[in-house]
Structure 1
Amino acid sequence: MTMLPTLSELADALTYDLPPSSGRREAWQSAVETAVSLLEPVWPQKTDDFYDADLPNTLPTVALVLYVDERAAEPGAGQAERLADRLRVVSADQYSELETFIRAGLELRGHSTEHAATDPLARLFLDLTAHRSGATHMELPGYLTLKDGPQLRWAAQDATFRIERLGSGGRAAS
């Protein structure tokens, strides 16, 4: 049985040492906490020998969008819908728009991909947007399946699916 990462484990991995004086540390931590609270009701609790390898990228993708998009991060009624609208990626053009939006938002907050070696959020963004070759169950243990292309795209689709389930009162399969 493949163990799913818990939201808590994934959130702990997103604890970055950002400069406290800039307010970025608090803003990032708030984005991660909000992402956890939104995903928790629809996060899988257990799995068989198969799960989607995009799952660990869902939390950081949602957190990045909340960090850069004040409209999606605004708490209250409609937050899940606003976030799902921002994350919805059906076509390559929509993916390109999402990637451009996140990159611009990071730059507005002082994160540059040129400084990814020292900026953990820029590094996270580059990791999620790097083109990856897909892998089959024969190449990875636990029947993990990586899709071809940037993982941000697949994580955004997974996040949209999960967040939209919130509105329907759904719960992830356990």
Structure 2
Amino acid sequence: MNPSLKDYLSQQSPHTTEERSIILEQYKILVESINHSNSVREQSHGFWMTINTAIIAGVSYIKESHTLPLEHKTSLLWTLIGLGTIFCYFWIIFLLSIKKSINKRNEMLLGMEAYLPIKIFNYIFEPSHDNKGGSLTLKELTVPVFFLLGYVFLGISLYNFTEEIVIPSR
């Protein structure tokens, strides 16, 4: 737990029933906030996957298209690869910001539990030592990284294998 938060909570130890009920209400709000952030994170995966899948499908379609002039085909392919790379970057930034937010809220939650009779989240987090990095799984971060690597590979192959496209000026 952050030393400043720990110091603050130790100075603010509740003595009255009213103060404890206020902490309980804030605790409920914090739990709801964490659940909402988790829901947003989970629901956003479909959005990011759809965008990246559409971009890769577009790259595939344009590369195999025989109706486009080579100059247009090349510019469209480079544009799609650039857009895909940018979207992957934003996807990673989005996941890391959600992770930071959830971790901060988890830290506050664990601090507030010191004043509650049952310490549910302390029980969940402490044995697994999962309170620092457990809000974002490795799988969630590897998906945008794999898409990003795919775009890098597409860019390299587009640059090196020039049979069907025009090489941009080197």
Q: TM-score, normalised by structure 2?
A: 0.30
Larger Rg: 2
Q: TM-score, normalised by structure 1?
A: 0.30
Q: Which has the higher helix share?
A: 2
